[in-house]
Chains A and B, each alone.
Chain A
Amino acid sequence: MSKVIFSNISKRFPGASGAAAGLAVDRLNLVIEEGTLVTLLGPSGCGKTTTLRMLAGFETPSDGAITIGGRDVTNVPVNARNVGMVFQSYALFPHMTVRENVEYGVRLLNLPRHEMTDRVSSVLATMALETYADRSPSRLSGGQQQRVALARAVVTQPKVLLFDEPLSNLDAQLRERMRDELRAIQLRLGITSLYVTHDQSEAMAISDRVVVMRNGIIEQDDTPLNVYSRPGTGFVAEFMGKANILQGRVETTDESTVSIRIASTVAFTLPRGNRAFKPGEQVRCVVRPEHIRVDADGAMQAKVRRVVFQGAYVEYLTDLEGQECVFLDSDYYRTGVAEVGQMLRLSVDTQPVWILPNNEAADMGKAA
């Protein structure tokens, strides 16, 4: 059993000034279920790397406790935690061959010799590294180095696997392939994993759960699907890809739906779930750019302010009665590209529109 639990973890770095600035991680509670991969996602300085390094044992929490499989490891040194880690820079030992790199950790387990060689060869085989086993890591490509780093991290059969932005040194194409490879191996081995990245699409593609962090606190901890389509805060909505956050006013509400007016030409009628709304209340709606399209019969009218041609689509920034609204048009070859100043008729697919919970004011109070 290697479920990971962070209970009320805070980390204060000495020297930082200001009450909030000194706290890199602020009373964080997080559970990583056995065998799942959880991603910490957020902008730089949000506390995600500090959280990972506290689980690794490089940093000690100022407060709170961390357990791995029920064992309190808060004060256990790194080398006694049995965690595997894949570093951003790979951190391969440059003076050892690929095989020696992989063997390094296994040697420290004091296993019988044959078991040691078995383990090393089977991991090298799994990662398709056998042909490179006696090369120096500096003579491998970025993707191969990445595999060596992973092989070295998993060969000791760690309880927890940690990834510190492991793909950020690879070019875009390789990054996607390695991402899928990492996930496949993690699933196959069933190792409980914590993954840190600032790339939201990487986070969504690889994780069982995505934890969005900001200023040392968790903004949202949910499945990739929910974090994207049902963001808990405006910050999450905007961090998980392009989003229009449109101000609106509740017009009417009944047992199952709520009608919200965004502009004179736009109103949404949405299912209200179990949330209560009062007519006249101000709400914010998240509308993803891909859910707005050019439509000659559409009711919504917006004025083009900027046009960016991207090849596969045209990105428009429009003015919707004072609110900024971005959308993508991939049908431009049929309808032509609009010009700045032109009024466009648009329609919105209302089904994916999401009403943000009205707790932002409370959040602000907490941060201040």
Chain B
Amino acid sequence: MTLVSQATPSGRTGASPAFLRKIVVDPWLFGIFAVVTLSVLVFAALPIFTVLKQAVITDRGFDLAALVDTLSKPFVWESLFNTLLLGATSAVIATLIGFVLAFSATRTTMPGKTFVHAVALLPIISPPFVMALAVVILFGRSGLITRELLGIRNANVYGFHSLVLIQSLAFTPIAYLNIRGMLQSIDSALEDASASLGASRWVTFSRVTLPLVTPAVLSSALLVFVKSVEDFGNPMLIGGNFNTLAVEAYSQMVGYFDLHAGALLASLMLVPSITAFLVHRYWVSKRSYVTVTGKPTAQTIRISGAAVVLPLSILCYAIVFAILLFYLTVIYVSFTRLPGIDNTLTFDHYATVFTAGFQTLTNSLLLAGIATPVTAIAGMLIAYLLVRKAFPGSFLLRWGTLLSFAAPGTILGIGYVSTFNAPPLLLTGTAFIVVAAMVVKNLQVGIEAGSNQLRQIDKSIEEASMTLGASNTRTFFQITLPLLKPALFTSLSYAFTRSLTTLSAVIFLVSANWTLITVTILSQVETLKIGVAAAYCSILVFVVLAILALMQFLLSSTSPKR
């Protein structure tokens, strides 16, 4: 035996409570846990509570009269109503479109499925306001379609109808992926069984397939609703007089310097978001009959009749056409001198971006580049802490990260401005605060992906490492993290895409030193420099696609060949 017996903890401490022992066994890991939990509380929970506090407490303390006064202003109720109306409408339409796409792609012989799939996912990797930009270009006062094709002089593109169109298309991928995953995990033997019992296609669909995917349909609708409530870029660009809470909160804060009203509006946003999120988490997800394992069961495609396939295909391709039209329009306009007036081709807009506007692009890439690995590693670490280790105080971490995910970016942004504007946490104007917002907002996706993967990793693999003498911390970094690689890459991709295309939170945090590409695009559109905005958008889409392709390549080339 070369091993000298190591120091034994002093005597028998059998009386020490179990939770104390967990800490003593691995002080390092507990230290990491404490730091992570504290960070989540400071950067997620604290800002949100600051906003809630500001909403009800003014300089003169709790002022019921002022609160009632603000609440009785018509713009408050109007924007709340607008937000809910827009959210509900977009949720219904995006879910319907997502369902049609998902059903056609998994259950019918529709041609060109790979193409449809790729295009349907396009909106998820670009900032949602690419759509808004395209709609302005196509249907605006000097729009390519309205004015050039139809000769309409005073088309009003701004308002509810455009917002519904844009959000429905922009959030379709959420519904599509969700419902597609569920449809793929339904064992087709169930549908075969129904047919063998004499049921027609329609009866099988309405009595077997539809009830089984209902949880995914409901969950899609709720997620789209949350996204719509949170959306800032589209209503800002194209809402016109149709103000939503996110836009109204921003104008109260930035336009009128009314912190109290801004905070109150942002707090109101929290109500529908949190409600939808809780319903999703505790009601819809418990009603699922199908376990989505990520492992598609063998699917036999049964629906090949033209009567069903043809209408569905036409519908799908119409959606694909609309999405492509919007993206191609933006690319086309980025090469056009003055769209609608002078349609000669030019590289001028790109020249502007790469000279005067270059810093905003590099800023965005740099900050997103810092935020991405931090988000992904922290996500895996938190997943590990929550799934494998039950340290005392875990619930703080769990609820802190859930809160940051459910809370709209607007409340987070306002919260950051109000919380970190004085010592000891004087961070406004720094790059740090922008990175922190990016990390906090995108953490939850990594945690979910990591947790799901962890539950599929045999716990005894980690136990084996410990019997061989490795500490919890070493086990995490040498055994668990490498095994979490697929979840890590999911999280990296998501974090990078979202950090680069985010707007609602960071718009409150950018400064002269650290401005971001999304904020620049917004101001270019507002000053009607559509061409430059389109060039920025095209670059953004291209960069995201390139990075995602690179990550995919890295993931497949570093995975051992089996």
Residues of A within 8 A of B (CB): 56-58, 60-61, 63, 65, 69, 71-85, 87-89, 91-95, 104-105, 108-109, 111, 136, 138-139, 152-153, 156-159, 162, 164
Contacts and interface: CB of A to CB of B under 8 A. Distances in A.
Contact of B8 (A72, A89, A156): A72
B26 A83 contact: no
B461 A91 contact: yes
Contacts of B11: 72
Given A63-B14, A65-B12, A91-B458, A80 B463 contact: no
Interface string B453-491: 000001011011111111100100011001100000000
Contacts of B2: 109, 111, 157
B25 interface: yes
Contact of A56 (B13, B21, B467, B483): B467
B18 interface: yes
25 contacts: A57-B466, A58-B463, A71-B8, A72-B12, A76-B6, A76-B9, A77-B25, A77-B466, A79-B467, A80-B6, A82-B3, A82-B5, A84-B467, A85-B463, A85-B467, A89-B460, A92-B464, A93-B465, A105-B469, A108-B469, A111-B2, A136-B560, A139-B562, A152-B464, A156-B3
Nearest to A68: B5
A181 B154 CA distance: 88
Classify the interface of chain B: helix, strand, loop or mixed. loop
Contacts of A108: 468-470, 474
B1 interface: yes
Given A65-B14, A91-B461, A91-B464, 7 more contacts: A71-B5, A71-B8, A72-B8, A85-B467, A91-B460, A109-B2, A157-B1
Given A75-B14, A156-B468, A87 B463 contact: yes
A85 B460 CA distance: 10
Contacts of B465: 93, 104
Name which of B9, B13, B26 has the most chain A CB atoms within 10 A of its CB.
B9
A153 B21 contact: no
Contacts of A76: 6, 8-9
B562 A136 contact: yes
A318 to B, nearest CB: 45
B10 to A, nearest CB: 9
A154 to B, nearest CB: 11
A74 B13 CA distance: 9
B18 A60 contact: yes
Chief secondary structure at chain A's binding surface: loop
A79 B471 contact: yes
Contacts of B470: 79, 104-105, 108
Contacts of A157: 1-3
Nearest to A102: B468
A81 B482 CA distance: 26
A133 to B, nearest CB: 15
Contacts of B458: 89, 91
Q: Closest 10 interchain pairs by CB?
A: A105-B468, A91-B460, A91-B464, A108-B469, A78-B466, A87-B460, A77-B25, A85-B467, A91-B461, A95-B482
Contacts of A72: 8, 11-12
A78 B560 CA distance: 30
A247 B50 CA distance: 79
B469 A74 contact: no
Nearest to B11: A72
A115 to B, nearest CB: 8
A81 B467 CA distance: 8
A136 B6 CA distance: 33
A295 B26 CA distance: 68
A282 B478 CA distance: 63
A204 to B, nearest CB: 26
A78 B464 contact: no
Nearest to B560: A136
B464 A87 contact: yes
Contacts of B469: 79-80, 82, 105, 108-109, 156
Contact of B13 (A69, A75, A84, A164): A75
A73 B12 CA distance: 9
Contact of A93 (B6, B466, B474, B479): B479
A84 B463 CA distance: 11
Contacts of A63: 14
Nearest to A101: B464
B26 to A, nearest CB: 7
Given A63-B14, A75-B14, A87-B460, A138 B467 contact: no
B460 A94 contact: no
Contacts of A138: 562
Interface string B15-26: 010100100011
Nearest to B461: A91
Contact of B12 (A75, A82, A88, A92): A75
Contacts of B478: 104
A61 B12 CA distance: 12
Interface string B136-177: 000000000000000000000000000000000000000000
B12 to A, nearest CB: 6
Contacts of B483: 94-95
Contacts of A78: 463, 466-467
Contacts of A95: 482-483, 560
Contact of A85 (B3, B6, B464, B479): B464
Contacts of A80: 6, 469
Nearest to A88: B460
A60 B21 contact: yes
Contacts of A57: 466-467
B8 to A, nearest CB: 6
Contacts of B6: 76, 80
Given A75-B13, A76-B8, A93-B461, A153 B467 contact: yes
B486 to A, nearest CB: 12
B15 to A, nearest CB: 10
Nearest to B21: A60
B193 to A, nearest CB: 33
Nearest to B469: A108
A293 B299 CA distance: 57
